[in-house]
Amino acid sequence: MKTKLFFKIIARYFIIQIGVILVAVSLQMFLVPNNIIDGGVIGISIILSYLSKWQLALFIVVLNIPFLIIAFKKLGRDFILSALYAVLSLSFWVLIFKPVPEITKDLFLASIFGGIIIGAGVGLILRNGASLDGTEIISLLINKKHGFSVGEIIMFFNIFILASAGLVFGWDRAMYSLVTYFLAYKIIDIVIEGIDDAKAIFIISSESESIIKELIDNFNRGVTVFNGKGGYSDESREIIYIIIKRSEIFKLKKLVHTLDESAFISIQDIHELVGKNIKEWK
């Protein structure tokens, strides 16, 4: 068991390192040379490095360390150590990649590819229990005390950061930075949740028996049935519940509506599945 745990930890830190390298590539080959920033501490670091002419790597470490210290007791030793490892690694790789010339001077291409690559890197880091951004850490702490969502708090920070980019680099660069920021967070969601993330499906139909049979035969997954009653009609109804992949939604809708054109289907996002009977999502 100890050997298995050891290799699991090694694999996790290796993937974090891959994510860090992707972030460094995005910064040094696409974003920094074109004065485009990302949000959070990295964005602040780019602005301060530009204004002071000091090393970007220095600001990435110096600005993140206070956040890590503040959050040490709140978020646990494992998370903080993983985050510290990621921050120090990013600082190292930013120095390594500095001599590499930018891939393109086209601002649109730089913002697009920079956002995709940095999003993939940050997604791998977050998925493996680490963080590169002190603002995310502080957002978690504020969320616990004041009830604002983590996303709302991060967006609040980034409004000021992107506004600062407009004042320093020009408003065209700020708008390109917004494109980068938007793309990065979309890619982060894909990396963390996967393209085939789970969907919870609720189906209400008068043909529930036929639909249940077809769902079991076609999707090879468990189906749960709830007893319900119409609030207006006062009629008893069976509510069918099944979890499927995003890519299977079209197939399910076609199957259900073939059996009952008037069937009601509700589709909801699921961000995590836990349980020993949950099948692997591949």
Final residue of a domain: which of 193, 227, 250? 193
Whether 122 and 61 share a structural domain: yes
Q: What's this model's pTM, rounded to 2 decimal places?
A: 0.73
From residue 128, give the alpha-carbon distance in Å to each of 17, 20, 201, 260.
10, 12, 28, 43
- Confidence (pLDDT) at 34: 92
- Confidence (pLDDT) at 151: 56
Cα 47 to Cα 101: distance, rounded to the nearest angstrom: 19
**DSSP state for residue 102 in the 8-state scheme:** P
Report yes or no: 134 and 67 within 8 Å, Cβ to Cβ. yes
Final residue of a domain: which of 131, 160, 193? 193
Nearest to 46 by CA among 32, 34, 33, 58: 32
- Confidence (pLDDT) at 188: 83
Q: What is the pLDDT along the chain (282 residues), one digit of tens a residue?
A: 678 788 888 999 999 999 999 999 999 999 999 999 988 899 999 999 999 999 999 999 999 988 888 777 777 778 888 889 999 999 999 999 876 776 888 999 999 999 999 999 988 988 888 888 877 777 766 766 666 655 566 777 788 888 888 899 999 999 999 999 889 888 887 787 665 567 899 999 888 899 999 898 888 888 989 988 777 777 888 899 999 877 688 789 989 989 998 899 999 877 667 665 555 544
- Confidence (pLDDT) at 50: 93
Whether 95 and 221 share a structural domain: no
Whether 50 and 144 share a structural domain: yes
Nearest to 100 by CA among 190, 159, 194, 28: 28
Q: Domain for residue 280, yes or no?
A: no
Domain CATH for 232: 3.30.70.120
- Confidence (pLDDT) at 8: 86
- Confidence (pLDDT) at 277: 59
**How many folded domains does the chain comprise?**
2
Pairing relationship of beta strands 264-269 and 236-245 according to DSSP bridges: unpaired
- Confidence (pLDDT) at 281: 47
- Give residue 226's domain range: 198-269
Nearest to 75 by CA among 129, 153, 26, 147: 129
From residue 31, give the alpha-carbon distance in Å to each of 23, 59, 109, 123, 172.
10, 16, 10, 18, 14
**DSSP state for residue 275 in the 8-state scheme:** S
Q: Domain for residue 277, yes or no?
A: no
